[in-house]
Amino acid sequence: MKIKIFLAICLLLAAYGCKKDHTLPIPSAGPNSILSQTHPLKINSKLLLEGVYNVSGQTEMFGDQVIVKNNRTNILIANSNGKYIVLESGYLDSVVFLQGYWRNGYGDETGLVSLMIGRDEGGTMVVTGTGAQNIVMRGAFGNESNLPDKSLVLSYSRPFSEKAKNTTYHILAHRGGGRTSDLLPVSENSIAMVGFTERLGSTGIEIDVRLSKDSIPFLYHDGDLNIRLTQKGPLAGPPENFTLNQLKTFVRLIHGETIPSLEELLQYTIDSTLLSFVYMDMKGDPGSVSKVVPIQKKMLERAAEKGRDIIIVMGIPNDDVLNELLAYPDYTSVPSLCELTVDDVRKVDARVWAPRWTLGTQDDLVAQMHAEGRLAVTWTIDQPSWIRDYINEGQFDGLLTNFPYVVSYYHYIQQ
């Protein structure tokens, strides 16, 4: 008992005395925001905002064109260079107000954004759902928490193409939706991150699955407990050396969250998000396959009961995991994603083939996978030019990225 009390005190002291700053604060208009006085836009109104917009005023910042996309929690404006805008919305007397922040995903610049759609520039149409879709968003953006002072005008150009609207393209966000190095306000591989990532354009996630000392699958990327991913605390060494209860009691992720079990995270994803793809990257702890499969099955059954069309696949990154799956009874019934050869894909009857992007678009092999009723995704692409080329020239059904807003732009900008 004394040891437990001592460790708990150490944890508290570490949390309050040794916490590092791993966040780029999200600017906020605060309690005086005009949105506090508005009525919320209905979903149909938000969908009318979607499309391709021309940019004037600050093209050197946001480029000549952007896409506007409604997500579950917000409205995303994305462009080709990684600068994106996250907005909340509301209306008063047929005038639409949009406020939020912009962020450079490839750097640490950010600031406030405030836009408005006047009655005669699409506001009435958006609120009532009648009239021509000639929308002009006028406003400004600023730096950090300063008032917006740089003019920004977005003019509706066209709707998303039928190809963009009707093609299911899986935008898979890395490490539960974002990395520690991305300076987001939530920790990688946390439940909070899964709840956050949709606002960045993600439609699915990749998560890192390990096995605790008491054989419970949990989420954590690195092979040791370190200050890159966690606040300084009393535990050290490989996380699999500890029980899940010990990890939850004595470890806090960078932003204070507890390490989630796989079952907790999958249940949250099904119950509280619209994410449609979960890629479980197995980190290779011996015996993990037999512990993950029952949870995977249970969560897929839960999704079916709730009418959720979601893919949950076990990742096969190496021969060790492959052989462990092959030794599992009725292994072909386990929904899996294989990163190895197409022969290995067929060996386990994987639902998804996921080769490394550096191998090229491999259109012939992707076509074979499609002919066999399988999906093909690739990983991990972050450079805008490569994202563009893979979407425009490749035949993959999605890709894994640390920059889902860039993938959103290149998918929805397609003609």
Query: The CATH number of the domain where 366 resides is what?
Result: 3.20.20.190
Residues linked to residue 136 through DSSP beta bridges, in sequence order: 155
Is pLDDT of 5 > 50? no
The domain of 226 spans: 165-412
Rounded to an integer, the average pLDDT of 314-322 is 98
Please indicate, yes or no, whether residues 106 and 169 belong to a single structural domain of this protein: no
Higher-scoring residue by pLDDT: 19, 291: 291
Asked whether residue 21 is domain-assigned, the answer is no
CA–chain centroid gap for 392, Å, is 21
C-alpha pair distances (Å), 7 with each of 12, 238, 254: 9, 18, 19
Query: Residue 7 domain-assigned?
Result: no
What pLDDT does 31 receive?
A: 79
Report the domain count for the chain.
Answer: 2
* 206 and 307 part of one domain: yes
Q: What is the pLDDT of residue 212?
A: 98
In this structure, the answer to whether residues 173 and 148 fall within a common structural domain is no
pLDDT score at 224: 97
Q: In the beta sheet, which residues pair with residue 55?
A: 154
Mean pLDDT score of the chain, rounded to an integer? Answer: 93
Is residue 319 located within the same domain as residue 347? yes
On whether residue 19 sits in a domain, the answer given is no
- Predicted pLDDT at 23: 76
Confidence at 21, pLDDT banded by 50, 70, 90: low
Q: Are residues 171 and 186 in the same domain?
A: yes
Q: What is the reported pTM? A: 0.93
Last residue of a domain, one of 142, 159, 176: 159
What are the residues whose beta carbons fall under 8 Å from the beta carbon of 225, sequence distance 6 or more? 233, 235, 236, 237, 238, 239, 251
Residues 111 and 179 in one domain: no
Q: Is 56 left (phi over 0), alpha (psi -120 to 50) or beta?
A: beta
For residue 135, give the CATH number of its domain: 2.40.128
Condensed to tens digits (0 to 9), the pLDDT of residues 145-173 reads 899 999 999 999 999 999 999 999 999 99
Confidence label for 10 from pLDDT (cuts 50, 70 and 90): very low
Q: How far is CA 269 from CA 147, 266, 300, in A?
A: 36, 5, 11
Span 180-232, pLDDT tens digits = 999 999 999 999 999 999 999 999 999 999 999 999 999 999 999 999 999 99
Residue 227 lies in a domain: yes
257: exposed, middle or buried (Cβ count in 10 Å: 0-12, 13-18, 19+): middle
Asked if residue 17 is part of any domain, the answer here is: no
Domain end point (choices 159, 186, 212): 159
Residue 258 located in a structural domain:
yes
Q: Give the C-alpha separation, 302 to 293, whole Å.
A: 14
Segment 43-52 shows an average pLDDT of 96
Please give the pLDDT value at position 161: 97
- Among 402, 354, 399, which Cα is nearest to 175's? 402
Q: Are 66 and 49 in contact (CB under 8 A)?
A: no
> Is residue 152 located within the same domain as residue 171?
no
The answer to whether residue 30 scores a pLDDT higher than 90 is: no
For residues 154 and 190, membership in a common domain is answered with no
d(CA 413, CA 164) in angstroms, rounded, equals: 8
Q: How far apart are CA 193 and CA 57, in angstroms?
A: 33
Please check the confidence at residue 19 and state whether its pLDDT lies above 90: no
Asked if residue 114 is part of any domain, the answer here is yes
Does position 7 have pLDDT exceeding 60, yes or no?
no
Q: Are residues 297 and 357 in the same domain?
A: yes
* Among candidate residues 96, 131, 159, the one where a domain is terminated: 159
Distance CA 361, CA 370 (A): 14
The reply to whether 77 and 180 lie within a common domain is no
Q: Which residues share a beta bridge with 379? A: 356
Find all residues with CB under 8 Å of 122, minimum gap 6, and list them: 96, 133, 134, 135, 136, 156
Q: Are residues 150 and 174 in the same domain?
A: no
Q: Give pLDDT tens digits for 260-291.
A: 999 999 999 999 999 999 999 999 999 999 99
pLDDT tens digits for 89-144? 999 999 999 999 999 999 999 999 999 999 999 999 999 999 888 999 999 999 99
Locate 22 and state its tokens.
Answer: 């791993």
- Report yes or no: 351 and 280 within 8 Å, Cβ to Cβ: no
Q: Is the pLDDT reported for residue 57 higher than 80?
A: no
Residue 373 lies in a domain: yes
Q: Are residues 155 and 169 in the same domain?
A: no
Q: What is the pLDDT of residue 388?
A: 98
